[in-house]
Structure 1
């Protein structure tokens, strides 16, 4: 019996060494540590990661947290609607809606608005949606969310019209939201959406081939990084910008008061900010750097930006374009 136990321990030790050796080999070949470990922190939340779904970035978390802080700073939160609705497109692991819901929920526990919250994440990838739901269930089980939070994940092709989506056997965004309305106790389409967030594919094929890190190209999904080539003529728009006109169109359709779109750099941020200003519906447009809540007074934060009436906030690389209108002026105390 003692010899058998020793043999079993030896086998377990040998198996552990082989596994560790394989993990080291994977890392040496450039496999991201998040895929090896299986998780990555996004703000205060530990998010499960797996190959085939984009890894959450800390800079994205900083933008989401800064948005929530702007909404809830001091007495400003009392101006928020009692029922706040957030729509996140290209949700991936679900990290953005999960963090937004969590941080707002923490404030609600201390009596700050909103009283009720509704959050929906949308993605084209069934694998991403499975992982997003798994992250939700893990965090509910760990006590970060109450049971049955008003947070749903839907599959849709946000670039497709209703007719295009039928050909692709995937619902359009409009139909996915309509279906959610008819099948859930918390309808997704009865009222306008207050906030629209998206971290879409924004890397052009040329930039992907020439400047993207090798580990990203080899291991992270191209679907989440590079916009698809569309049949119609888009010669007047940078290939990396394909999603942004559609996102701004959706924002107008769902009557969003705030939009927050991630971008690759300051150059792309300026192009997207111009698109937003060209709509003529936004009262304010801003560009946020990697860490918008930090101020570096020694940095020439506006040096690379020549857009008139567009503020540039924070330090680091260009990261997001933020726009607001209507009631959001009061939420942010900008009026």
Structure 2
């Protein structure tokens, strides 16, 4: 048995992060993070597993892929290679959406570009009673989302968001999306561990990064009832251009941009107009 604190120190010296070392040690030991400090020591097998995880993390593999789990607001979801890892920055947009949903009787909610299903899972947990739908293009991500959303009542589908949910046209209260939005020309500026390990499909979207957001605007215009709302995440440098994307759709009013938890521009919201602009 090796002392828990000593192992955390060992890992943190290599990783430069005590939090990551503790997370990996708890995973290797098979205990909740909150119970790690209660362990008198760690057995030889778990120590070997832990050291292997630390080496892999030091080589750039995301912690969430190593543990198979990612925290998001009030839920924890499964993730794996080929599935986009949910970010804390997206939690603010999701909270905004939940506030809108809670104001409505029998709300109908659609998530586009669902990925792991983290956003839909958080909405189901925090705004129970909503009629929820989600769509994801990647079959790998959809399989993971299906597990994460099991028992939630979310109607999850695999496919292109551009062709999704025609039966809901003009009947949806809220559309939410965290689409890919990194410009292809920004490849070299993306963190190596992200571009090496996370799926390109969930990261990059055309030369200006706005291809998927243009589709989101169009789909939201089709799905939303008059007065319904859409919220969509974007890069911090895209605030003005994304507002323009939604203005160009000629279907929305009250287009506004909002900051994330770091006070950086992060998501746009808009209200479906009663009549489409000519």
TM over 0.5: yes
* TM-aligned CA deviation for residue 70 of structure 1: 4.6
Task: Name 1:23's counterpart in structure 2.
Answer: 53
* TM-score, normalised with respect to structure 2: 0.76
Task: Name 1:152's counterpart in structure 2.
Answer: 155
CA contact (8 A) 2:101 2:130 kept: no
Q: C-alpha distance in 1, partners of 2:53/2:108?
A: 42
Task: Name 1:239's counterpart in structure 2.
Answer: 208
Q: C-alpha distance in 1, partners of 2:90/2:133?
A: 18
Structure 1 counterpart of 2:255, from 272, 285, 309: 285
Q: C-alpha distance in 2, partners of 1:24/1:323?
A: 44
Query: Does residue 88 of structure 2 align to residue 58 of structure 1?
Result: yes
Structure 1 counterpart of 2:233, from 247, 250, 262: 262
CA contact (8 A) 1:117 1:150 kept: no
CA contact (8 A) 1:198 1:261 kept: yes
Q: C-alpha distance in 2, partners of 1:272/1:250?
A: 15
Task: Name 1:299's counterpart in structure 2.
Answer: none
Change (3 A) 1:191 1:249: closer
CA contact (8 A) 1:92 1:129 kept: yes
Query: What are the ranges of 5 or more consecutive residues in structure 2 without an aligned counterpart?
Result: 1-41
* TM-aligned CA deviation for residue 13 of structure 1: 4.9
Task: Name 2:181's counterpart in structure 1.
Answer: 202
Deviations 1:268-308 (A, max 9, x none): 121110121233332201111113xxxxxxxxxxxxxxxxx
CA contact (8 A) 1:43 1:62 kept: no
Structure 1 counterpart of 2:66, from 36, 57, 65: 36
Say which SS state the counterpart of residue 121 (structure 1) adopts: strand
Task: Name 1:132's counterpart in structure 2.
Answer: 145
Deviations 1:236-264 (A, max 9, x none): xx531111222111112113511101001
Q: C-alpha distance in 2, partners of 1:323/1:286?
A: 6
The structure with the larger Rg is: 1
> Comparing both chains, which one has the higher relative contact order based on Cα–Cα distances under 8 Å and sequence gaps of 6 or more?
1
* TM-score, normalised with respect to structure 1: 0.64
* TM-aligned CA deviation for residue 189 of structure 1: 3.1
* TM-aligned CA deviation for residue 103 of structure 1: 1.1
Task: Name 1:121's counterpart in structure 2.
Answer: 134
Q: C-alpha distance in 1, partners of 2:273/2:125?
A: 26
Query: What are the ranges of 5 or more consecutive residues in structure 1 without an aligned counterpart?
Result: 1-11, 106-115, 141-148, 160-171, 179-187, 230-237, 292-314, 328-335
CA RMSD for the aligned pairs?
Answer: 2.2
Say which SS state the counterpart of residue 127 (structure 2) adopts: helix
CA contact (8 A) 2:101 2:174 kept: no
CA contact (8 A) 1:281 1:325 kept: yes
Aligned length: 231
CA contact (8 A) 1:226 1:240 kept: yes
Say which SS state the counterpart of residue 252 (structure 2) adopts: coil
Q: C-alpha distance in 2, partners of 1:325/1:198?
A: 15
CA contact (8 A) 2:221 2:272 kept: no
Deviations 1:69-108 (A, max 9, x none): 2554xxxx2xx2x321111111000011111122111xxx
Say which SS state the counterpart of residue 131 (structure 2) adopts: strand
Deviations 1:8-31 (A, max 9, x none): xxxx95543332221011011011
Q: C-alpha distance in 2, partners of 1:214/1:69?
A: 35
